[in-house]
Chains A and B, each alone.
Chain A
């Protein structure tokens, strides 16, 4: 395997690892359910995308690359579906979003 591809793959893997960590820290630290969902979506789009791209660069044109693409497609379709269903279910069950206090909002306007 040529060196530039290796370097690109390493950069993609590191970026993916970084975004996964950011998403996980957000999942732990964000104040309410909907903001936590926002953090988790970082993990599922950028984190997963960059890691799969890095592995794809290492795989070359093989069956492994096809499987990686299939995994990417699965995440691409499944995670927004799950997020949508989660947000809808939480809203229906009365989990209220945490909003700014009225005086803070009026001072902004």
Chain B
């Protein structure tokens, strides 16, 4: 079952990567990047169990944290064109 889950996650990763390459708008690419981050997190966890080394879970946690920060930061950049912009109240 772990092998099947790993293979399915790899296929998922490939399809999301295809969407990131194709995506017509930048938001499609960002959505794909977010999905890739989530799937990579799951893949690390399942792969750790597959090899009997669940230490990979720490890496998965760090990956998840970096993923959410990355998506929000890139999103802010593409929405306002400036990482230091002061939110949406003035708009």
Q: Are A27 and B16 in contact (CB under 8 A)?
A: yes
A13-B2, A43-B12, A58-B49 known; A86+B68 contact, CB < 8 A: no
Selected from B8, B42, B68, the residue in CB contact (under 8 A) with A21 is B8
Selected from A36, A71, A92, the residue in CB contact (under 8 A) with B28 is A36
Q: Are A24 and B34 in contact (CB under 8 A)?
A: no
Size of A's binding interface in residues, CB under 8 A: 47
Q: Are B34 and A14 in contact (CB under 8 A)?
A: no
Bound complex: CA of A5 vs CA of B9, how far in Å? Answer: 22
Selected from B9, B54, B68, the residue in CB contact (under 8 A) with A82 is B68
Q: Are B4 and A20 in contact (CB under 8 A)?
A: no
Name the prevailing secondary structure of the A interface residues: helix
Selected from B31, B42, B57, the residue in CB contact (under 8 A) with A40 is B31
Q: B7 contacts which chain A residues (CB < 8 A)?
A: 17
Q: Are B19 and A27 in contact (CB under 8 A)?
A: yes
Q: Are B71 and A27 in contact (CB under 8 A)?
A: no
Q: Are A20 and B31 in contact (CB under 8 A)?
A: no
Q: How does the 8 Å CB contact mask read for B22-65 relative to A, with 1 for contact and 0 for none?
A: 10010110111011001101100110010000100110110011
Q: Are B34 and A13 in contact (CB under 8 A)?
A: no
A20-B9, A43-B35, A85-B75 known; A70+B1 contact, CB < 8 A: no
Q: Report the nearest A residue to B72, measured CB to CB.
A: A85
A-B CB contact pairs (8 Å), 6 listed: A14-B4, A17-B4, A20-B9, A55-B46, A67-B54, A82-B75
A interface residues, Cβ below 8 angstroms from B: 9-10, 13-14, 16-18, 20-21, 23-25, 27-28, 33, 36-37, 40, 43-44, 47-48, 51-52, 54-55, 58-59, 64, 67-68, 70-71, 74-75, 78-79, 81-83, 85-86, 89-90, 92-93, 95
Extra inter-chain contacts (9) besides given A67-B57, A81-B72, CB under 8 Å: A16-B42, A36-B19, A37-B31, A51-B42, A58-B49, A78-B64, A79-B34, A86-B30, A90-B25
